[in-house]
Amino acid sequence: MTSRHLTTVLTRTLEVKAEQAMTSGANPSRQVAATPAYTEPQLPAERRSRLLPAAAVLAVLALGTVAAIALRSGPAEEQVGTAPLGDPPDGWLVPTGLPAGMQLWGVDYSSSSGDERLSEPGMTIPQLFGDPDQGRAIYIVSDQYDVVPDTAEQVTVRGRTGQAGPSWDVAENDVGDAISWEERDARITALYKGTSRAEAIAVLDSLEWRSDDPADGFAPPSDPAWALRGEVDDWAPAGYEASFSYSQGAPSSDSTDDRPGFWIHTEAGSAVSAGYLAGWYRQGASVGGGDRPVSTFDEESLRLEVYWSDGRSIIIEPQARSGPQAPTREELERIAGSLIVVSEADLAALGAGAEANVAALPVLASGETTIGRLEVHGEGDFHRLCLDRPADGPLACATGMLGDTGADWMIDGTWYVTEASTTNDFLILGGHDPSRAPDAGELPAETTTAGEWTFYVVAPPPGIDQVCLSSTDGNAIGCSHNRAAAALTAAG
């Protein structure tokens, strides 16, 4: 792994978590509303193997956990008029309408039970008030938006000094007028439209907290003109989440090489997403309060996001962003409309197909280790790590979305983390808690050198539940190795 690769891993990890924050914050589930009728996926035959690569579970140290999203239906005196929800799917969403010749090269998936509280200090939950279908709404969030500093004006809101003016999102896109302030150690931003600044402040002044914890949000106001239409819940909804990498030939990290390919992330769960609420706020009547999905499209990156009111979503990023290989928005929408629901066995079969694609690539380096022969397979700047143990069956290759030349394996009940690198400018660190920074220091590794490549094998001792890669200066870190995920994958 090179420094560039480590940075790429960390960057994609942050992007995935940011996307989760803006989608459902949890995971996916059965057939998508407004999609074609369910059809069986065309999957490769499931292969049997005692040795399986462990799916990566992402732990991002630089990004706080984000509250999951749900439509609240409380006691009678606190009912909320919400967008209608569909029956949550019982499985993962997989696209089927891909262009001819696409091969699957990477797949990660996970699920959640819906019994985890996700709030952290300084957070409140996204809440949508008013009538967005008529263009009159207030959307309250914690930290996805901020008032542009150069144009901010000082205001008094809820008895505190705040700022008001044009607002932007984390990508510095203009998102309209906003009011920002701090309360109960939480930084809060309220986007507003269809009303004056003075009236928006008056509405915000009238809101009452549900409890002493800002993560519980504001209680519905008594004024029906500003009814609470939908909100985040501080509990992660049950659901399913998956990411896929498709390409004609081995993928490339260079978006200028015009190679057809897609990175796709899907979620299906038991609650509406913040992505849907934000889209409903912005698009209003074009969404129709849940009658149609919300979609956003970036003309420069060609990134398409589609959110349904029942918590299902898909994000598509094409590899080719210009030239004859760049897809049109209509082609991306066809992919988004082709989602079907699959089981874990189906995903395992898809993963086996991705493994076979990786295994067929040229061997760039190999080295004998105590757990078997490690091989780097790749083409161009796409590299993946494989493990050859003839007694266990076919070659096993890593197909995680984040890991470049890293993989973890469960072998006879023992967890092994492996890396391959052409540099030595990183550290392999261990941690006792996957939700926190690694606290066990550098882990000892068996090393084997073959040409410019060095292979690392780490057997984390009991009590070490996550393994992270850090640059030697500590400025970049990515944690994609998790004992529990490795054990679950092996059990599956």
Tens of pLDDT, residues 305-348: 999 888 889 999 998 888 888 999 999 999 999 999 999 999 99
Q: What is the pTM for the complete model shown? A: 0.77
Q: Is a pLDDT exceeding 90 seen at residue 94?
A: yes
Q: Is the pLDDT of residue 62 over 80?
A: no
Which phi and psi (to 5°) does residue 285 adopt? Answer: -60, -25
Strand partners, 36: none
Q: Distance between the two ends of the chain, CA-based, in angstroms?
A: 28
- Residue 67: band (very low, low, confident or very high) from pLDDT cuts 50, 70, 90: very low
Q: Which two tokens stand for residue 169?
A: 């999102």
Length of the chain equals 492
How many angstroms from the chain centroid is the CA of residue 60?
11
Q: Give the per-residue pLDDT at 274.
A: 86
**SS3 of 337-389:** CCCEEECHHHHHHHHHHHHHHHHCCCEEEEEEECCEEEEEEEECCEEEEEEEC
Name the amino acid, one letter, at 188: I
The 446-450 sheet, strands edge to edge: 406-411, 414-421, 453-458, 446-450
pLDDT at 121: 67
Residue 379 to residue 399: CA distance in whole angstroms: 15
